[in-house]
Structure 1
């Protein structure tokens, strides 16, 4: 089965996060915030993977909601690391933009899924 766009992008993003954290830990830099960054950044992709194996639409939506929240948390840690001089601007801009792109894709998937479920419910109600 071919990987979905969000699956590919969230995995590539997690790899970028791991590399950024590796950079932060490679020299006497930062050892606490980077751990939070790798947890939330990798969790985006992990929750996307779980959503793709969801047992129901509700489970799918729930897992993607978690992925969206993790992306938001990742944004926070990225800003905190950048604004305190640990993450160079070029790296921050690139990773932050990718996180924003993934967040928008997740949001669109959630919106579309919820609209389809609403239409399905209305159709069932109308046919009764």
Structure 2
């Protein structure tokens, strides 16, 4: 990341949302009920989506080149899809 103020601000937001994905997934794995699991997984989906958003902003604001985030964006989108599909499966079981 460049040392610009813009990069620092967006980078901090990306760091917060992406670390929240891991923390909330861990909390979901320790859930005491299916309802709690669903709630935590919903946060994972929201934070993963926000992480993708901040990566898109970095590219659109021309802070980084698109190819510099291709791999991370792809990984984030895969995590988002997996978490969303898992949440859908839990919802179908009518916790």
Say whether the fold is shared (TM-score over 0.5). yes
Where structure 1 has 5 or more consecutive residues not aligned to the other structure, the ranges are 1-23, 119-128
Aligned pair count?
93
**Aligned mate of 2:33, from 56, 76, 91:** 56
Higher Rg of the two aligned structures: 1
Give the aligned partner of residue 88 of structure 1: 65
Which deviations, in whole Å up to 9, do the C-alpha atoms of 1:25-82 show, x marking residues without a partner? Answer: xx52321110000000111111100000001100000000001000111111111111
Give the aligned partner of residue 114 of structure 1: 91
Where structure 2 has 5 or more consecutive residues not aligned to the other structure, the ranges are none
Scaled by the length of structure 1, what TM-score is found? 0.68
Q: Which has the higher contact order (CA 8 A, sep 6+)?
A: 2
- Coordinate RMSD, CA, aligned: 1.3
Give the aligned partner of residue 28 of structure 1: 3
**Aligned mate of 1:79, from 56, 59, 67:** 56
Distance 2:24 2:81 in 1: 15
